Amino acid sequence: MKVVMIGADRSVKGGVSAVVNNLYAAGLEEQIDLKYIGTMVDGSKLRKALQAAIALVKFVLAMPGCDIVHVNLAADASCLRKMLFMKVAGFFHKKILIHSHGGDFQGFYYERCSEKKRQKVKAALNRADLFLVLSEEWKTFFSQIVEPSKIHVLQNAIPIPAQAKNDYSSHKAVFLGRLCKEKGIGELLEAMPRIRQEISDFELILGGFWEAGNEQLERKADALKDVVGCPGWVSPKEREQLFQECSIFVLPTWFEGQPVSLLEAMAAGMCVAASAVGGIPQILGAGELGGSEDALPCSTGMLLPAKNPQALADALISLLKDEALRKQMGQQARARIQKEYDIQNYIGKLLAYYRKLAH
């Protein structure tokens, strides 16, 4: 099979590129004829526009002989950008697989799109011959827009590190991802003074880059630099080191698809505290616990209510005071990822979807 896959360039610091790079690392290109075209890069608007134009030319040239077009799609600019590519794929009568990523498509579709734009987005999404989503929750949502029979759940997956974490003694927590209000950074910083009152040696590491428009949060983090570290975007090697240094991975996000960073933390054996939004409860194996106003423990970690700094502080304090609990949750989190989210199983499922489309 010849598959042309499009999405954020593999150099981009984000979830889609992480998923794609994991697929390459796991050998997907050895099993099919795979051509990846990056439609977006980090940088200025001019650089982004130039990348999109070059990508479109490459895409058109790749259409002859192509069997399947695999579109990695998120909300806002990602969706609007891919609509043109899907139109081209339709012109060439190619089978289209849309793979939805990201966590705020609902807000994009119902709040940030005009009625006219919403109709165009709906028409574009219905070009799909197969539509992959990250969780049952997103399957329910997209069934309002796309023919439900086309929609299938394919959860993200990752390579499992050989070495498991064994030291849970530190009072350090780490966040990895985009630094912005929607990821709950404001709530984390607001919770800091109360946590420090209870746990005097607590430290927080914010690994990632600050998004434009979050300068106030950046200044607040800088004012707490004696207890909040901001090393910038971290490499895979640096991430592994942080997972060894820290005992807790925290993700107080407002909305989410299925965060690769959470899967990576759990696979490493981290004790995790994450918001009960999107596919996160499903990852932790505790989908029935979502929707509470309080932080709720489960066997693999702690589920947090979004936008609630008080509950966030309470959850982290309880975890920081109990090393045995951190270890127990971390070990069970790793066991769950090994069983349910190994990337080799994921590739097998993806190839089955490709075969379904090709015949």
Structure tokens at 54: 């070059």
Of residues 315 and 287, more confidence is placed in 315
Q: What is the pLDDT of residue 20?
A: 95
- Give yes or no for a contact between 295 and 231, defined as CB atoms under 8 angstroms apart: no
Does CATH number 2.40.50.140 belong to domain 2-157+342-358?
no
Q: What is the pLDDT of residue 290?
A: 61
Average pLDDT over residues 211-223: 96
Structure tokens at 315: 């959850």
Burial of 284 (0-12, 13-18, 19+ CB in 10 A): buried
Q: What is the pLDDT of residue 240?
A: 94
Query: In angstroms, what CA-CA distances link 332 with 112, 260, 318?
Result: 40, 18, 18
Rounded Cα distance between 26 and 35, Å, is 16
- Provide, rounded to the nearest whole percent, the portion of the chain with pLDDT above 70: 99
Q: What is the pLDDT of residue 15?
A: 84
Per-residue burial over 308-327, b = 16 or more CB atoms within 10 Å of its CB, e = otherwise:
bbebbbbbbbebbeebebbb
Of residues 118 and 163, more confidence is placed in 118
pLDDT score of 291 more than 90: no
Query: In angstroms, what CA-CA distances link 239 with 39, 106, 168, 170?
Result: 26, 31, 16, 16
- What is the end-to-end Cα distance of the chain in Å, rounded? 11
pLDDT confidence bin for 88, thresholds 50/70/90: very high
Give how far the C-alpha of residue 101 lies from the chain's centroid of Cα atoms, to the nearest Å. 7
Average pLDDT, the chain: 94
Does CATH number 3.40.920.10 belong to domain 172-340?
no
Q: What is the pLDDT of residue 4?
A: 98
- Give yes or no for a contact between 99 and 73, defined as CB atoms under 8 angstroms apart: yes
Structure tokens at 232: 């910038």
Query: In angstroms, what CA-CA distances link 204 with 164, 191, 245, 274, 314?
Result: 22, 11, 11, 15, 15
Q: What is the pLDDT of residue 58?
A: 98
Average pLDDT over residues 136-153: 95
Partnered with residue 275 across adjacent β-strands are 304
List Cβ neighbours of 334 (8 Å cut-off, separation of 6 or more): 164, 165, 266, 267, 268, 269
Pairing mode, strands 172-176 and 248-251: parallel
- Provide, rounded to the nearest whole percent, the portion of the chain with pLDDT above 90: 88
CATH 3.40.50.2000, the chain: domain bounds: 2-157+342-358, 172-340
pTM: 0.86
Give the total residue count for the chain. 359
